Chains A and B, each alone.
Chain A
Amino acid sequence: MSELAERTNKHSTGESFAEPHGQLPVRPKPPLRRFHQARWDEPIIFELSRPGRRGIAVPEPGAPEVELPEAVRRAQPPRLPELSQPHVLRHYLRLSQENLGADLNVDVGQGTCTMKYSPKVNDRFAAEVAELHPAQPVDTVQGVLEIYHRLERMLAEISGMARVSLQPGSGSAAIYANVAMIRAYHASRGEGHRDQVITTLFSHPSNAACAKTAGYEIVTLMPDADGYPDIEALKAAIGPRTAALMITNPEDTGIFNPRIKEFVDLVHSVGGLACYDQANANGILGITRARDAGFDLGHFNLHKTFSTPHACGGPAAGACGVSEALAPFLPGPVVTFDGTSYGLETPERSIGKIRPGLGVTPNIVRAYAWIMALGAEGLRAVAETAALNNNYLMSRVLRIPGTSAPWDKRRIEQVRYSWRELSEETGVHSEEIGVRAADFGVHYWTSHHPHVVPEPFTLEPTESYSKEDLDEYAAILAHVADEARRDPAFVKGAPYNQTIHKIDPTPLDDPKQWAPTWRAYVRKHLG
């Protein structure tokens, strides 16, 4: 411990900045933030339990109790923890402090995730739908239906699509719904034999995974020597078995494929559909549209591009947009408007309901309010600033010796970088640099697999960060790269300023040792 602390100080904060006795601090701050994550050393909640305590009272039955037969009666009470209310709150607030929300940090390091500011006022609007039930008569929910309808129209305008469904619970759920519509569309035309979906290596892997779950065979186009998906390979891949092309653009490398319309036209020429994963749309809002490139359907992630909070990994929300030809297949019900009032209706050939309720309504409300606060000019400012921030950050990052951005192409809203040179020189891996960077209070992410870009990291600065923020992030990376050269073992030993220290993951893969719950832990390790 003491040795760790000593080394941490040596490397992370440099010399002492203490003021002369009795004087207020006037010296400049050190170049890097002297961050330390909260460390409450908080026990597991079961360890805080004392029998008999309770956190909340429940209404008395007020009616005769029901006797249950033994076959359905619980034999012994669940071994849940017993805590009073202030202690439950305190425990969870401590855990929250040990978590790095986007609101707290320069969250440009979780590339492809589009971490942007989620306005606080929108959370208040979201709370106002808390007590609405989706089976209420439509005349009692005209407000929420109007919000759905208006957001659908906005997203239709932004993508150029004819109709939009807001039912999916996330981006991947939207991709799956799109696959289901593709399947239903071909089946309706007697072309159910189309059993192949084509995607690209740098499209989000959910495209391949969802299509495969839905029964399709996957054909993946690898990048060519220029970093674009190989169009000659596409020409060889398409044919009577092609159901659809599912593609991201710009891809996760940040490179926009300028021949995208050719890709779409090729797939159309054999009767396939073109489906646009618009996960990376943040840099092209108001600049270019899916339908204008000929796409038949596509999706947005409302928690990425349209600012709804990521919520530790959901609830999120997805939006499917489709052309007129595919509108009959949308998940049902969809919102209708007859000029005076809003209603619900299931399209004739709908793939059906894909989740309870009409969608993740609090996030629909947030996304709508976000667009309303920006308008057309504002969305364009979002896109252009995201591109400006990305290119600015790229210029800063590429000044750090040991970094590169393969393929020497323009980037729009994100970049997949490489630490290949630094790693070869020092033996320090990209993941390890990320863990050390977190010692300065930021996130960092590498890449999906396989790692075509060696020792990858992916940064996506969005419009929400200032020049000063971007300078700070680049300075952190430069500092860690410097540490890796001077003392690679130190970087590999990180973290030092986090809630916990370096994890040994070995027991997580051993069935005899792994403990996915406290119950398993007690049985295997405390028994």
Chain B
Amino acid sequence: MATTVGFVVGLVVNPVAGLGGTAGLKGSDGAEVQRAALAAGATPRSGERAARAVRALLAARPGVRLVTVPGAMGEDSARAAGASPGLVRLARPAAPTTTAADTRAAVLALRDVDLLLFAGGDGTARDVLDAVRELGGQAPPVLGVPAGVKVYSGCFAVGPAAAGELAGLWTSGATVEAEVVDLDEDRYRQGRVSPRLYGVLRVPAARTRLSGRKTGSAAAAPGTVEGIAREVVSRMRPGVPYILGPGATTQAVGRALGLATTLLGVDVVRDGRIVAADVAERELAGLAGGAVLVLSVIGGQGFVLGRGNQQISPRVLSRTGGLLVLATQQKLAALGGRPLLVDTGDEDTDRKLSGHVQVITGYRESTIYRMETT
């Protein structure tokens, strides 16, 4: 079976992730919320979910070496799963209610592993992202074990066991970029889902399973981010400005043009050059005349406008001359028939944008999909 020699998996658990969920608190960010959750009788579940991931990891890859940090931030889950992990001591032991700083410190301490599993939610993913940025090129690939209340980021496996299994079966070393998205919890508690893109993490590329390969299957290349980017570039016309929203897909459009566009900001390109990078609303309004908007779907909720790209205001939208929405078929399929969403804050603008829009899903491939106001 898979070789195990020398392969080291790191484990970081955010022990308070998911705490707010059982207490109906829609998140666990901040010590106040954590205390409130504990007072409401909430029980941490991330430790147990991390243990499930470790069990699946050991089953998929017997003899794998596991390294973690002491106590609830990893060791307890590893032992609960029957592993005997190597331990890396932190300079400052974590308190019972851990902080973002503890997660970052643990990731930094485990920098030498081949793959880092972390258990938590979107907030934890942001902390991991911060640490990975600090490490720069030295950072290991990571994979999220979903254990938080909010799990909208692409860096998480579909479940704890799937995370452990993927970690165990991942031998190719191939990685892909996955977006880290988080919601503003205060707005979320007010009933408003407001995803924002924070960056990308490198996660293992899942190999297509061995089975399910019917001879009668078509080998049409499923739409890929690169295919989408190539299609967008093939549609670009001379003299027309293109406004690229935030996201890995729109950044791939920049890459296809040979341009270093920003991941998180809004950029304007024209005739193969960057006209303005990471622009604010006011500047964008000045550049938007006759421009075509190129937007990807942010997070798992289907938001295209009004979340994480508020620079693209109703004023900007009133001046633009076209809209290209980008998403893989897989991402649309995950919406389960729910529409794409716009929420610009201006009812008129939202109404005008509602209806069926073309969504580019690959090179010379698109779909027509419903977009609605929230």
Contacts and interface: CB of A to CB of B under 8 A. Distances in A.
Whether the complex brings A and B within 8 Å at their CB atoms is answered yes
Interface of A: 110, 112-113, 171-172, 201, 204-206, 208-210, 212, 216-227, 230, 232-237, 312-314, 424, 427, 429, 431, 434-435, 445-452, 489, 492, 502-506, 509-510
B333 interface: yes
Contacts of A233: 356, 367-370
Interface stretch (B69-77, B87-95, B158-166): B158-166
B214 interface: yes
Contacts, number: 128
Given A217-B366, A492-B59, A113 B165 contact: no
Given A212-B364, A217-B366, A431-B212, 16 more contacts: A205-B220, A218-B364, A218-B365, A219-B358, A224-B337, A224-B370, A226-B337, A230-B368, A233-B367, A236-B358, A237-B358, A427-B159, A427-B165, A446-B212, A448-B218, A450-B222
Contacts of B332: 222
Interface in B340-374: 355-358, 361, 364-370
A230 B161 contact: no
A220 to B, nearest CB: 5
Given A424-B159, A506-B171, A222 B220 contact: no
Given A201-B333, A222-B367, A236-B356, A209 B220 contact: yes
B219 interface: yes
A217 B365 CA distance: 6
Interface string B324-342: 0000111011001110000
B5 interface: no
A172 B368 contact: no
B211 A446 contact: yes
Contact of B214 (A113, A222, A492, A504): A113
Given A218-B366, A506-B2, A236 B329 contact: no
B311 to A, nearest CB: 28
B96 interface: no
Give chain B's interface residue range (CB within 8 Å of chain A).
35 or more
6 contacts: A209-B218, A212-B365, A230-B369, A232-B370, A233-B368, A427-B159
A313 B215 contact: yes
A451 B332 CA distance: 11
Interface in B99-134: none
B136 interface: no
A255 to B, nearest CB: 13
Contact of B337 (A212, A223, A234): A223
B210 interface: yes
A508 B304 CA distance: 39
A243 to B, nearest CB: 13
A208 B59 contact: no
B286 interface: no
A427 B1 CA distance: 20
Contacts of B190: none
Interface string B219-250: 11010000000000000000000000000000
A447 B337 CA distance: 18
Nearest to B367: A220
A509 B365 contact: no
Contacts of A450: 222, 328-330, 333
B1 A504 contact: yes
Nearest to A171: B216
B172 interface: yes
B218 to A, nearest CB: 4
Contact of B218 (A205, A221, A502, A503): A205
Given A218-B366, A233-B368, A509-B207, A451 B220 contact: no
A435 B369 CA distance: 36
A146 B360 CA distance: 49
Contact of A113 (B56, B216, B336, B356): B216
Contacts of B219: 209
A313 B216 contact: yes
A434 B209 CA distance: 12
Nearest to A312: B215
Nearest to A216: B364
Closest 8 CB pairs of A and B: A427-B161, A236-B356, A313-B215, A205-B218, A209-B220, A225-B337, A233-B368, A431-B211
A112 B368 contact: no
Query: Among the interface residues B162, B216, B338, B358, which one has the most CB atoms of the partner chain A within 10 A?
Result: B216
Contacts of A205: 217-218, 220
A142 to B, nearest CB: 35
Contact of B212 (A226, A237, A447): A447
Contacts of B337: 222-227
A449 B56 CA distance: 25
A232 B161 CA distance: 39
Contacts of B365: 208, 212, 217-220
Contacts of B171: 506
A226 to B, nearest CB: 8
Given A218-B366, A220-B366, A504 B216 contact: no
Contacts of B172: 506, 509-510
Interface string B31-71: 00000000000000000000010001001000000000000
Contacts of B165: 427
Given A225-B337, A233-B356, A435-B211, A489 B220 contact: no
Contacts of A172: 218
Nearest to B164: A427
Contacts of B216: 112-113, 171, 313
A281 to B, nearest CB: 15
A201 B329 contact: yes
Nearest to B366: A219
A204 B207 contact: no
A338 to B, nearest CB: 39
A10 B237 CA distance: 67
B103 to A, nearest CB: 26
A204 B333 contact: no
Interface in B3-35: none
B209 A431 contact: yes
Nearest to A314: B215
Given A232-B370, A492-B59, A445 B214 contact: yes
B368 A234 contact: yes
Given A204-B218, A233-B356, A445-B212, A452 B333 contact: yes
A446 B207 CA distance: 16
A448 B211 contact: no
Contacts of A314: 215
Given A205-B217, A208-B220, A489 B59 contact: yes
